[in-house]
Amino acid sequence: MKILKITMLALALGLMSFSAITPIKVIASKVESKFDASAIVWKAETIDVGQIPQGTPKAIVFEFKNTGKTAVVITNVQGSCGCTATDYTKEPILPGKSAKVTATYNAANKGAFTKTVTVTTSGETTPKILTLKGTVV
């Protein structure tokens, strides 16, 4: 019986030593991901334009700054519908410099609206979704 207890204790301690390796790898990957953070800092990701008159297009400007160490290029900007036209800085944005994405909403229909603009850049692994909202009166 005593040999069985010693064997079980040795087995448990042996298995615990293997489980300690995984948390160390997880911690290391979390530390690395903090250093791989996005190089783009948006001034605002959601803009409420309030009330705008019907029939008058409204331009909404989303500004961002490149806080990384390399130039960033905007590769694609897509509005959520045909009522939102987009324009953006085409040149590479150098480290420390700012740029903008402009979404122009065609205020054809009265009522509240919420639209999105999806921005893909070389500085982020996933596209950024910007939101514009307001009310057409």
User: What CATH number was assigned to the domain covering residues 40-132?
Assistant: 2.60.40.10
Question: How much is the pTM?
Answer: 0.68
Tokens standing for residue 16: 């615990």
> From first to last of its 137 residues, what are the pLDDT tens digits of the chain?
778 778 887 777 776 666 555 555 555 455 444 444 568 898 999 999 899 998 888 899 999 999 988 899 999 999 888 888 889 989 999 999 999 999 998 888 889 989 999 999 887 888 999 999 999 99
Q: Report d(CA 114, CA 112) in Å as an integer.
A: 7
Q: Where exactly are the structural domains of the chain?
A: 40-132
